[in-house]
Structure 1
Amino acid sequence: MPNNFEVIKVKELFPVVPVFNYTNKPVVPWKKDVNRLSRDYELKGVNEYIDYVNNKNEVKKSKVTGYALITGKDSGIMVLDLDRNHGDGSKDGIKAYKELIESLKLTQEEQKQAFDTFTVKTPNGGLHLYFKYKEGLKNDSNKDLSIDIRTDGGLIIAPGSLRKIGEDIREYTVYKDNPIYDIPIKLFDKLTEYFGVNKVKGNKPKETNKKPGRHPKNKEYYTVTNEGGRDNALIKYLGRLITQPMFRDIHELLPMAMMYNQCYINPPLDAQEVENKVNSILSYAKPVYCKDNGKIINGSLVKYVLDKSPSYIKGNMLYIYNEELGIYEYKDTRDQLKLYYDHVIIDEDIDPGKADKFAKTIHSIADNHKELFIYENRYINCLNGVIDTETDELLEFTPQIKLDTKFNGNYYDIDKYKEDYNKSKFKSFLENILDDGTILTLQEAWGVMLCPNATKVQQCFIYKGEGSNGKSSLFDIQTALLYDKDKSVCGIGLGKFGDEFIMAMAEGRRVNIVRDDTVEGKINGVFKSAVCGEEITVNKKNKDHVQMKFNMAWFYGLNRMPVTNDKSYGFFRRPIFIPFNVRFGTMEQVQRGEADKIGVPGIVEDIISNELDIVFMWAYEGLKRLKANNWKVTQSEASIQEMEEYKEEADSAYAFYKRELIRVPGYNLHAKTLYEEYENWCLMEKINSPMNVTQFGRQMASYGHKKGTGMAHDIDKPGNSVFFGVNYKKNVYIQVENTEKVFEENKQSTFMDASFKPSDIGNSPF
């Protein structure tokens, strides 16, 4: 029978938001009202599709595996989350909770409330204790107790939800099917010591006569105030608190105000009234980074910004952790100046010099990471968490894993993905534009985009083919896979690597995509270093030069091959071609022979709207195969043939060698005569600029034929300058089925008969 989440309906655990892919954290923006479900009929069963709106206000669809209750005032519920088997397993939240209750000396009725309220057992063996909502506690965690509180601003996974633990799918089950009780007052007050302002380390609160938090010492604030003086007493208390910088923040001041209201105001003021007074008092308070006159203290502002969120510096960029997205977002020079201006209180501080000083100070004291390959090469940030590619485990978002790129796909069961892929429009689209072998090459190329490993892969990918062949459509799907393509993609053309400031474009980017590269100019040597993840000097206008490595995936769309001065093996092993040989058009164009197939309107839009999870998992499958193959990309026959044609087009010596020469150990050719043969061949092939003799010699050496002094067998003279181990194909006999030797044009020397083996015919240095 399908799970229809009856417990949520019976207990009226609303509002909830959907959870996908057997995780314990919703990826839907739960603060958007449109994503909140508040009625029985809105709930979908397990593996039923449900619509939601993402952060870009796009309507998406995914399969439900659970729901998360929005705790606090909205639902009227707060939950104590007692963790077990969390982290290293040394902390037991259930045991700590029992010890805490015992220390409070509760009445029998209060113990019943504390232990017998409605309780849910988690897949990890922990417990969720549901209580009626009471204002004043902060939504927070205490790792020493292994207890979390979920109240205003929090979420808790609802009963009936499913979670994947290792290979098992486990359910959040009802442990105690009792009413949801009020939280005992003594327990609530004690929890403020852990979660209100101060988090007390250890399993017990500190022994102290003071109230939690840093109260002013004046005892006049700690006498009960009755009606007639309540407003004044609370304002006076708050005014005293905000003289301390730590309380100039609503998240710190509001819990203190709520606690004071409960303890010293009789009867307590309405919670909304207390919150209004907190907002009012904060509107007059100067931030912690300002002097009393409102002027910014540069060092204090820098410390405030760095303490507010995890951050680091890489190159010229400041990266600050976005908790909602679970990634680090980069701040370029302009963003850093804006960061300063966003904190200005008085007009006197609107000063470019001060803003620049702020940016320079951040760069001087923030954590500096020249490279973060250890994270980028192992972890992938996707919509529902962080994938550890070593274990295939889905982790929760954490600032400890420093990633700055997020992908528009959910990670889910590999068997389910394969079933979905085989029925997908994406599979049909690929098979319509590429051959089977090239699809495998492309799949691994997209895997490199997920997890670059540039120093191991050391290759770029070139989509080659004339127009109307699917290249642009494929690029559309590829860029849609990036959560924020504007911050993840740069476009450095193959002919632009020699430009002075060009590499600054690549800072903070995961992938370089040039859809239709015209390749103006020749390819610079920086290209090889960039593709291989080697250190490069990055020059940015009005900035100091920095040495950086780029861990990126490189993609180009070409109609024709680029020109290069570099004829080395190292250069030619960098590009991998993905040939697009199918032309799409209308029915009439196909009938006239101007196109091979009829295009399918709207298929790309359908894939982007409905199948990005499948596309993401397809790319991840390619990454896993590439990794298993020791980072050697699978190349199709079509891809290899494109490279051979490119090498012959770009390197006339290689074309001459491949067509006219053959490797023959022990046989040498007269160097001068061979070069003249090469020049004559270029003339016949109408190659206008043959290599000079030095370049030709260098290329022959790269093919395994060094130049030196020896016997020139082709002119039968010793002591000449020769190329070793090579002969003209026209001089070499071919062994046929009747094993007779067939000679072409020139008679073979005795040496050839003695030392040349037919198995050497056709061998290539590549």
Structure 2
Amino acid sequence: MKDEWNSLDENTKKALLNVARQLESASDEVNWFDQKANRIDEVEFCSWFIRRHPLKYVGGIFYDIDGIVSEEKLKKEIVDILKPYVKTNIVKKAKQVLDAIRYEVLCDSMPKHTDRVHFKNGTYFIDGGFIPEKEFCSNRLPINYNPNAKEPVRWLKFLDELLFPEDIATLQEFMGYIFIPTTKAQAMLLLVGSGGEGKSRVGFVCRNLLGNNMTVCSVNTLSSNRFALADQEGMLLMIDDDMKMEALSDTGIIKAVVTMEDKMNLERKGQQSYQGYLNVRIMAFGNGSLNSLYDKSDGFYRRQITLRVKEKSENRIDDRNLSEKLTSETEGIVLWCLEGLKRLIANEFHFTISARTVQNQTELRKDEDSILDFFESEGYISFKEEALCTTKDLYEAYMLWASENLVKPRSENSFSREVKQRASKLGITYLKNVSIDRKTARGYKGLYANHIVDNVPFEKFKGA
């Protein structure tokens, strides 16, 4: 269909569109109002309205050919149509009719296309080619695709001031990633700094690109409020504009949203919970990394890409008109984002991550993960291929390290569980039976605790 449309000349395209409009107008006759009975035939009205304004209703959300449409907007449209015919209780009647339409257009799901981007003026196929034809989709961007748009000079200058050059590619790929409804990349993006650098401008640009396909919600609220999850249904992006420094008490929801591949249980106030799909990606801005009270697993940290922004220059003069300038470059920014999306897809949804960011993420994890920091310390444990160490002796060495480094230690059970899960990555082997000094206990092969070898009594440090 795309190739056939592109092969037509402009005059033929215009003629076909005019014929389509005439046919639509001819079928637009009002036959749902009975003048003698002064009554509206709701069944006929629903059929007439849907022909005039095609709709789908999925997961509590109305969609038309241009994407998500609010119920209030539809009610207003119905009220305007009914005004010449209904003189009393018109709002109640409009709501009644809308409820009938809701069930008439109810669908299990919306088409989710990952090989194309739906723009305001048509469909862009990622493998090349644009057609002005529209189709029903889960998300339509409120902007036009313009292949001749000018390079977004001010946007690129802003990024050069905000990010290190090697990190701009990561942001470009992520902003392209949010154009299509998929979570294949299985990552959220964090921009962290000390404040005042302009991180929130990225969120402003995303709003220009996505319109009502984006929500603003805190990560903490998403992880703790059972109703917040349903608000992300049908969305492409959730932004946390001011990420709290409080550690998350539960990371299960966040991990599930970032990697979601199947239906999730969603709940709205006053309604029965139901199973729905989420394709929302998470972007957050803050002054520190996202951390957890209890979850120090690889699964939690590998879902985060943390870009540290540049410090604000003392000589920088803030541009009070920057938002307007960036808005004027929206069509050029679209082309920039599409470049990132194509690169991400070519790389099988693996983001370009700079060595700087890898190092930053390692350091951030060390700050939050005392076990990892302990294993990379010196003087408390030593690695040797045939060495043996009981779990008790290893924990004592950890407690000694925590005491001397003013670090709040993990509980014994938590420490033992985490070390056992990470044993292979740490270069050690978990054994159920370790024999030392005629005693058998659980432990590890491949390291020993220095305080035991050096015969330093641990009781000296217990009071710390």
Say whether the fold is shared (TM-score over 0.5): yes
Q: Decide whether aligned partners of structure 1 residues 388 and 128 sit closer, same or farther in structure 2, where only a CA change above 3 A counts.
A: closer
Equivalent position of 1:721 in the other structure? 442
Equivalent position of 2:16 in the other structure? 148
Map 1:400-419 → 2, pairs under 5 A: 401-408=136-143, 410-412=145-147
Aligned residues: 441
Q: Decide whether aligned partners of structure 1 residues 350 and 437 sit closer, same or farther in structure 2, where only a CA change above 3 A counts.
A: same
| 3-state SS in 1 of match to 2:32 | coil
Is 1:453 paired with 2:182? yes
Deviations 1:726-763 (A, max 9, x none): 456x79xxxxxxxxxxxxx979xxxxxxxxxxxxxxxx
Is 1:252 paired with 2:120? no
Equivalent position of 1:385 in the other structure? 122
User: Matched residues, percent identical?
Assistant: 19
Q: Decide whether aligned partners of structure 1 residues 673 and 339 sit closer, same or farther in structure 2, where only a CA change above 3 A counts.
A: farther
Q: Decide whether aligned partners of structure 1 residues 149 and 492 sit closer, same or farther in structure 2, where only a CA change above 3 A counts.
A: closer
Q: Determine if contact 2:394/2:448 at 8 Å carries over to the other structure.
A: no
Equivalent position of 1:751 in the other structure? none
Relative CO higher for 1 or 2, CA cutoff 8 Å, sep ≥ 6?
2
> What amino acid is the match of 1:711?
V
Q: Decide whether aligned partners of structure 1 residues 384 and 580 sit closer, same or farther in structure 2, where only a CA change above 3 A counts.
A: same
Deviations 1:645-704 (A, max 9, x none): 33223222222223356776554321001111112222222233x222221122112313
* Match for residue 346 of structure 1 among 73, 79, 86: 86
Is 1:658 paired with 2:402? no
- TM-score in terms of structure 2 length: 0.82
Equivalent position of 2:216 in the other structure? 491
> What amino acid is the match of 1:464?
V
| 3-state SS in 1 of match to 2:376 | helix
Equivalent position of 1:529 in the other structure? 256
* Match for residue 515 of structure 1 among 215, 218, 241: 241
Q: Decide whether aligned partners of structure 1 residues 509 and 125 sit closer, same or farther in structure 2, where only a CA change above 3 A counts.
A: closer
The offset of 1:525, in angstroms, is 1.5
Is 1:604 paired with 2:327? no
User: CA separation in 2, counterparts of 1:625 and 1:253?
Assistant: 46
Is 1:431 paired with 2:171? no
Q: Decide whether aligned partners of structure 1 residues 128 and 382 sit closer, same or farther in structure 2, where only a CA change above 3 A counts.
A: closer
Q: Could you list the runs of 5+ residues in structure 2 that have no partner in the other structure?
A: 456-464
The offset of 1:339, in angstroms, is 5.4
| 3-state SS in 2 of match to 1:721 | strand
User: CA separation in 2, counterparts of 1:128 and 1:462?
Assistant: 49
Equivalent position of 1:39 in the other structure? none
Deviations 1:249-297 (A, max 9, x none): 9x3289xxxxxxxxxxxxxxxxxxxxxxxxxxx9xxxx43334433333
* Match for residue 58 of structure 2 among 288, 296, 314: 314
Equivalent position of 1:288 in the other structure? 31
Query: C-alpha root-mean-square deviation of aligned residues, in Å?
Result: 3.5
Deviations 1:508-559 (A, max 9, x none): 3221112112255625411111122243222112333221121122110111
Equivalent position of 1:470 in the other structure? 198
> What amino acid is the match of 2:392?
K
Q: Decide whether aligned partners of structure 1 residues 291 and 694 sit closer, same or farther in structure 2, where only a CA change above 3 A counts.
A: farther
User: CA separation in 1, counterparts of 2:27 and 2:182?
Assistant: 46
Q: Determine if contact 2:385/2:447 at 8 Å carries over to the other structure.
A: yes
User: CA separation in 1, counterparts of 2:363 and 2:219?
Assistant: 18
User: CA separation in 1, counterparts of 2:310 and 2:139?
Assistant: 36
Is 1:710 paired with 2:427? no
Deviations 1:74-102 (A, max 9, x none): xxxxxxxxxxxx7787xxxxxxxxxxxxx
Q: Determine if contact 1:382/1:408 at 8 Å carries over to the other structure.
A: yes
Bigger Cα Rg: 1
Equivalent position of 2:458 in the other structure? none
User: CA separation in 2, counterparts of 1:337 and 1:149?
Assistant: 28
Q: Could you list the runs of 5+ residues in structure 1 that have no partner in the other structure?
A: 1-85, 90-121, 130-139, 142-146, 155-194, 198-248, 255-281, 322-326, 588-597, 732-744, 748-766
Equivalent position of 2:306 in the other structure? 577
Deviations 1:376-400 (A, max 9, x none): x2221235431111x221122322x
Is 1:442 paired with 2:171? yes
Equivalent position of 1:541 in the other structure? 269
Equivalent position of 1:202 in the other structure? none
Q: Determine if contact 1:296/1:349 at 8 Å carries over to the other structure.
A: no
User: CA separation in 2, counterparts of 1:87 and 1:615?
Assistant: 25
Q: Determine if contact 1:664/1:727 at 8 Å carries over to the other structure.
A: yes
Map 1:231-380 → 2, pairs under 5 A: 251-252=25-26, 287-292=30-35, 293-321=37-65, 327-332=66-71, 334-335=72-73, 337-338=75-76, 341-344=79-82, 345-350=85-90, 352=92, 357-370=96-109, 372-373=111-112, 375=113, 377-380=114-117
| 3-state SS in 2 of match to 1:646 | helix
| 3-state SS in 2 of match to 1:556 | strand
* Match for residue 628 of structure 1 among 346, 359, 377: 346
- TM-score in terms of structure 1 length: 0.52
User: CA separation in 2, counterparts of 1:88 and 1:474?
Assistant: 36
